Amino acid sequence: MSDETASAIPLAVPISSGPFEKPVAEAGTTLAILMSLSFCHLLNDMNQSLVPAIYPILKESYHLDFGQVGLITLAFQLTASLLQPVVGMVTDKHPQPFSLPVAMACSLLGLLLLAVAHSYPLILVAAAMVGVGSSVFHPESSRVARLASGGRYGFAQSLFQVGGSTGAAIGPLLAAFIVVPRGQGSVAWFSAAALLAIVLLAGVSSWYARHPAMLARRGRRSTAIPPSPLPRSTVIGALAVILVLLFSKNVYTSSLSSYYTFYLIQKFQVPVQTAQLMLFAFLGAVAAGTFAGGPIGDRFGRKPVIWFSIVGAFPFALMLPYASLGWTVVLSILIGLILASAFSAILVYAQELLPGRVGLVAGMVFGFSFGLGGLGAAALGRIADVTGIETVYRVCSFLPLIGLMTALLPDIERKS
């Protein structure tokens, strides 16, 4: 039995009761598991978003330039991106249900190190450790979300993703009111959230270990992987287009998540806390867009959602560098809503393109997204140092045009 076959079975299996293991049989979707995963994703990404949220503090305290700030993002994103496809590929054949709480423990250690680090190299190490936790958490959590979907793959991925987007939005807000007034050491307070996530993920892992797909794998050395509905050359071409689309989406998003506060402070002379609140508004819009994309894709297809989400942001991105403060906030919210709706659709589209490779696809999509975000942040930091922060947004405003390559994606949902 493949992951896809098992995931389509309504999960009314008699397993031990409890808040993590009670299925919603009438919907064919184990909502308790999906909600637990989404909440843990919130806690995980909330903690991870503290890293860019405290950039102004680190920049001032350690006299960093924009290039060094970009390298902190690169240290986090590279460990997250390079390991994720490897983790996904290994766990496709040898699932590790209890790797989820272990991943959160790595992030916990990274947070504690970030709180006490008093040198730039230690800050880089702390950011990299948080990235290691992310590299294990995302592909395995995405697999469990698919298993608990009852066939509603877009809805399940959107519910899982909205937790992460919400956490990423809350992080800067908490940083504005806790970390900025109290300093770098207050990052350690957020270790309590990581501990809570470890407890919840232990329950999710217990459910995962008892799932029919896991029971079917016991005693077998490998699992048969069903073929793709398309020729190999078409699949490779479609994956290449997906990676280019992720480049367009994530480099632009990175320009906002990493440098938006600096842009607002420099161009409009707003205080740090006000800039953090405006970043929260953008990231909140990202959370809303993330949730909307999956269910819409379930109903109308993934490709139309990808078309709208990436190309639709272009006119607003083009206007952003020339807008007043009020319109900058409005345009950033619209861009966040539209761009974010693509992610769940892209992920589920890729999983349908490569059936049976849920972990590999999730690791590739998440990993490539993180890696592009890190490389983009480092490159944009150098551009900002040389030409100014406003030039970054003029250059990035043309990135959504790359979304026109969506036309090259095959109509896989018709062929499935």
Q: What is the pLDDT of residues 292-301, one digit of tens each?
A: 887 888 888 8
Q: What is the pLDDT of residues 107-120, one digit of tens each?
A: 999 999 988 888 89
Structure tokens at 330: 């409005």
CB atoms within 10 A of CB 80: 28
Provide the CATH number for the domain around residue 53: 1.20.1250.20
State the angle between helix axes of 191-210 and 99-116 in degrees (0 to 180), rounded to the nearest 10: 170
Is the residue at 136 inside a domain?
Answer: yes
Question: Among residues of the chain, what percentage have pLDDT more than 70?
Answer: 86
pLDDT (0 to 100) of residue 59: 84
pLDDT (0 to 100) of residue 14: 35
pLDDT (0 to 100) of residue 315: 93
**Phi-psi region at 188: left, alpha or beta (left = phi > 0; alpha = psi -120 to 50):** alpha
- How far apart CA 218 and CA 121 sit, in angstroms, is 44
Q: What is the pLDDT of residues 395-408, one digit of tens each?
A: 889 988 888 899 99
Is the residue at 10 inside a domain?
Answer: no
| Domain span including residue 225 | 19-415
Is the residue at 50 inside a domain?
Answer: yes
Q: Is 267 exposed, middle or buried (0-12, 13-18, 19+ CB in 10 A)?
A: middle
- How far apart CA 17 and CA 21 sit, in angstroms, is 6
Go through the chain and tell me how many residues it has: 416
pTM for this model (two decimals): 0.67
What is the rounded radius of gyration, in angstroms, for the C-alpha atoms of the chain? 21
Q: Please say whether the beta carbons of 314 and 400 come within 8 A.
A: yes
Please give the full DSSP string across 53-121, using - where no structure is assigned: HTHHHHHHHTT--HHHHHHHHHHHHHHHHHHHHHHHHHHHHS--TTHHHHHHHHHHHHHHHHHH--SHH
Mean pLDDT of 334-338: 92
Mean pLDDT of 322-337: 94
The better pLDDT of the pair 144, 416 is held by 144
Q: Please say whether the beta carbons of 380 and 392 come within 8 A.
A: yes
pLDDT (0 to 100) of residue 10: 36
Is the residue at 11 inside a domain?
Answer: no
CB atoms within 10 A of CB 178: 15
Is the residue at 2 inside a domain?
Answer: no
pLDDT (0 to 100) of residue 35: 93
pLDDT (0 to 100) of residue 51: 80
Is the residue at 404 inside a domain?
Answer: yes
Question: Among residues of the chain, what percentage have pLDDT more than 90?
Answer: 20
Q: Which of 87, 101, 91, 88 is nearest to 203 (CA)?
A: 101
Mean pLDDT of 224-243: 81
Q: Please say whether the beta carbons of 283 and 169 come within 8 A.
A: yes
Query: Residue 379 — pLDDT band, cuts 50, 70, 90?
Result: confident
Structure tokens at 212: 């029919």
Q: Which of 93, 207, 90, 94 is nearest to 144 (CA)?
A: 207
Is the residue at 14 inside a domain?
Answer: no
- How far apart CA 248 and CA 306 sit, in angstroms, is 12
Looking at the predicted structure, is the pLDDT value of residue 9 above 90? no
pLDDT (0 to 100) of residue 181: 82
The better pLDDT of the pair 83, 406 is held by 406
* Domain count for the chain: 1
pLDDT (0 to 100) of residue 108: 92
Mean pLDDT of 371-378: 72
Mean pLDDT of 59-70: 84
